[in-house]
Amino acid sequence: MSKDGLVIVYTGNGKGKTTAALGMALRAIGYEHKVCMLQFIKGSWHYGEMDSSKKLEPYLELIAIGKGFVGILDDNSPREEHEKYAAEALKICSEKILSEEYNIVILDEVNYAINLGLIDVKEIVKLINEKPIALDLVLTGNHAKEEIIELADLVTEMKEIKHPFKSGIKAKKGIDF
């Protein structure tokens, strides 16, 4: 294991941030590295990675913590409930990051949670600064804050150029979820 873990950010309004993180996880698992992916926001929906991750155990642990997308689509949950789930997610993230059980920890959609005000950016900055030196930490989601970008070793911005939704094509199983 490398002694110098990286902080990696996948952000931007284009698709592919979670997929990039999962691709990295798949590559790491090929070397029998242990990966933990904690999903903010997505928790109440079913995604293909929930099933495929089970096939990659014990190398991949996926934990969906959020209550679902906040304030859009079929979200009828009070904001306080989303905040409660986000606080719990933050606690679990800290435990997983500091456990030294993993080579990579992925905080999926954490940038959205920060942007929505469910989590304070200072809490994530604290986690980045406290992470074990060998741990690679990946943060995904649009609207990455400058404080996080400054601490990151690698930042990739996904830029939307064309999206099928704008042509009336709905999300596709196996591609979008």
Question: For the chain, which residues make up each domain, given as ranges?
Answer: 7-133+143-167
How are strands ordered across the β-sheet holding 136-140?
Answer: 60-64, 35-39, 104-108, 136-140, 7-11, 154-157
- Residue 169, pLDDT score: 84
- Residue 3, pLDDT score: 64
- Residue 44, pLDDT score: 57
| Alpha-carbon torsion, ordered 130, 131, 137, 142, to 10 deg | -20
Q: CA geometry: angle at 93 spanning 34 and 78, to 5°? A: 135
DSSP β-bridge partners for residue 8: 138, 154
Structure tokens at 80: 């306080």
Q: Residue 8: enclosing H or E segment and its boundaries? A: strand 7-11
Round to whole Å and give the CA distance between 86 and 67.
8
7-133+143-167 under CATH 3.30.1360.30, yes or no? no
Give the global pTM: 0.89
- Residue 1, pLDDT score: 46
Structure tokens at 64: 């969906």
Over its length of 177 residues, how does the chain's per-residue pLDDT go in tens digits?
456 999 999 999 999 999 999 999 999 999 999 999 998 876 556 677 778 888 899 999 999 886 555 555 555 667 787 788 888 889 999 999 999 999 999 999 999 999 989 999 999 999 999 999 999 999 999 999 999 999 999 999 999 999 887 888 888 777 777
Rg of the chain in Å (alpha carbons): 16
- Residue 160, pLDDT score: 92
